[in-house]
Chain A
Amino acid sequence: MAVIIRIPTPLRPLTGGLGEIETQAGSVSEALAALTSRYAEVGNHLFTGEGRLRSFVNVYVNDEDIRYLQSDRTPLRDGDTLSIVPSIAGGVA
């Protein structure tokens, strides 16, 4: 399936400035794997050392949060758009 991955601003320096990337993927996990195999440094910011999506990384398929779908097993169809959207967190220790 040909899908579009939207890259958030803070990761664009790691994708050669590209804000959108087209790839072939049948699921969210396949799409993210395709992204990080092409741009390895992106993976360091999206995933923990154990391979889980970091808590402040939100992934949407056509404006629907994958937490309310089938998480990274969410299937993708031809023409779907997968958006990576930051949330921001911090604070004193």
Chain B
Amino acid sequence: MDTLHLAPELAAQIEQHGIADYPHECCGALLGLDGAGGREVRRLFPLINRRDDSPRNRFAVTAGDVLAAERAARGAGLDILGWYHSHPDHPALPSEFDREHAWPWYSYVIVNTGAGYAGPMTSWRLAPDRSSFLPETLHAPHRALATVPPEEIPWP
């Protein structure tokens, strides 16, 4: 299984972005390096969710925002490894809509959010035939999940 390494402070930044934007979906780019030992996220590039019409259950990153993220990555000697977004009040599992709109190769990190808390965080890659998302090992040591009591984490 592929692995995405995410330092605790970066995982916390994703959580904080998701909490701040709740009940809307947040989104951003994962910038880092793709190596033999897996992918390592070095920094985030938070973005504005452009889906003004339906921000509670959709997110969009325009081509212009993608190009801005690419410029930021290049300037730091990094690549865009993938993207993160939140699922407010929904599990951190890719939806059919996520799959239909996904690109290959990228890592897709999803975090569950609620009012004032962040729940489970997962990472996925699109299968080569686009038929499904494949789970990716998210190596995020010491991630602070204590912000929410476990019994309140919405999870199937």
Contact = CB atoms under 8 A, between A and B. Distances in A.
A51 interface: no
Contacts of B134: none
A56 interface: yes
A69 interface: no
Secondary structure type dominating chain A contacts: mixed
Interface residues of B, number: 36
A21 to B, nearest CB: 17
Contacts of A93: 57, 90, 95-97
B21 interface: no
Interface in B87-127: 87-88, 90, 94-98, 101-106, 108
Contacts, number: 87
Interface string A76-93: 000000000111111111
A56 B97 contact: no
Interface residues of A, number: 24
B105 A55 contact: no
Interface stretch (B2-10, B60-68, B145-153): B60-68
Which of the listed residues B65, B98, B105, B108 has the most CB atoms from chain A within 10 Å of its own CB?
A: B105
Contacts of B128: 41
B71 interface: no
Contacts of B51: 89, 91
Contacts of B17: none
Interface stretch (B35-43, B77-85, B136-144): B77-85
23 contacts: A10-B103, A10-B106, A13-B104, A44-B129, A45-B104, A54-B101, A55-B101, A56-B101, A58-B63, A85-B66, A86-B66, A86-B103, A87-B62, A88-B59, A88-B66, A89-B59, A89-B60, A89-B97, A90-B59, A91-B87, A92-B25, A93-B57, A93-B90
Interface of A: 8-14, 41, 44-45, 54-56, 58, 65, 85-93
